[in-house]
Amino acid sequence: MEQQFFSILVSLVAVVFVFLFAVKKFSNQVQHLFGDKFKNLLERFTNTPLKGVLVGAGLTSIIQSSTAVTVLLVSLVDAGVLSFTNSIGVIIGSNIGTTLTTQLIAFKVLNIAPYILILGFLLMNINHRYNKFQYLGKPIFYFGLIFSCLFIISVFADIFRDSTMLLSLISKTSNLFVAIGVGIVVTTVLQSSSIATSLIVIFAGGGLLTFAQAFGIILGTNIGTTTTALLASTVTGKQGKRVAMMHFIFNFAGVIIFLPFVGLFSDIISRINTGLVGQIAISHLVFNIIIATLFLFIIKPVSKLIHKIIP
């Protein structure tokens, strides 16, 4: 049985690699599709914190990567294109935008993913004068590939329920701090909180994780997603470093602030009659909205703190 488990695990890793490839390609295609509008949007509509939050949430929802958005911010602020103050709202908003994937999974988008994949493939390969949407073919194809991979992973989740090895490992995440640690490590390795939370939702839907375990890991993903921007900032000036540090402090402090209320929050969410997958998706969204709202009121003192840490 465990030998079969190892073979399935290798297959799962292969699917995750294809998933990572699809996410990267989709992000690149969307950025290519929008061209300079991607950067211009940041420059024009971030002059207030609330606008920045909306831009951050919108961009992250579109390109499916808060990591890509924050790394872009590090580069733009370091180049002087965007001010550090204006970048703060975008950082806060990016955490809200990254919850879109879990919402789509909760609403059963996985079931239509193969059809989206086929549509994208046909659009980008039919070279005909009546095919006015050929330029949309690749983004649609990679979007479909992302969720098709998640669909395959959800099938694997059913098989894993019989593995004593995996169940033994998962049982350790019943401890909240272990679960947070797992979330940090998984997100750092995968370089994407969207991917990590998608896997969490799928495994929970397959009966492998409880709500408490899933939410604990999600808290960890919020910290783990900051590592890429921190790494990118090592080759930038102090402005770029401030953006990365702001991202880290916002996400880390958000988790710390929330810890005393995890039990109460879990009780409230458990009363929502949407099933486990729906509850996890809602908790992910609500947590990020609460923390984002809180930080909107303390942007100035936090900004001053960042300037003290990186003078």
Q: With helix as H, strand as E and coil as C, how does 113-159 read?
A: HHHHHHHHHHHHHCCCCCCCCHHHHHHHHHHHHHHHHHHHHHHHHHH
Q: What is the pLDDT along the chain (311 residues), one digit of tens a residue?
A: 455 667 777 887 788 788 777 767 776 776 677 666 666 666 677 777 788 888 888 877 776 667 667 777 777 777 676 778 888 888 888 888 877 766 676 666 667 778 888 888 888 887 766 667 777 888 888 878 877 877 777 676 666 655 555 556 666 777 888 888 888 887 777 666 777 777 788 778 777 788 888 888 889 988 888 887 787 777 778 888 888 888 899 889 889 988 898 888 888 888 888 788 888 888 888 888 888 888 888 888 888 888 888 88
Model pTM score: 0.73
Confidence (pLDDT) at 256: 92
- Which residues, at least 6 apart from 211, have a Cβ–Cβ distance to it below 8 Å? 204, 266, 269, 270, 276, 279, 280, 283
User: What 8-state DSSP symbol labels residue 283?
Assistant: H
Return the number of other C-beta atoms located less than 10 Å from residue 298's C-beta: 11
Under 8 Å between Cβ of 196 and 34:
no
Burial of residue 311 (number of CB atoms within 10 Å: 0-12, 13-18, 19+): exposed
Task: Tell me how far apart the alpha carbons of residues 262 and 264 are, in angstroms, rounded to a whole number.
Answer: 6
Report the pLDDT value the prediction gives residue 35, as an integer from 0 to 100.
61
* b/e 116-125 (16+ beta carbons within 10 angstroms → b): bbebbbebbe
174, 211 Cβ separation under 8 angstroms = no
The tokens 């290519």 sit on which residue? Answer: 32
Supply angle C-alpha 22, 24, 28, rounded to 5. Answer: 115
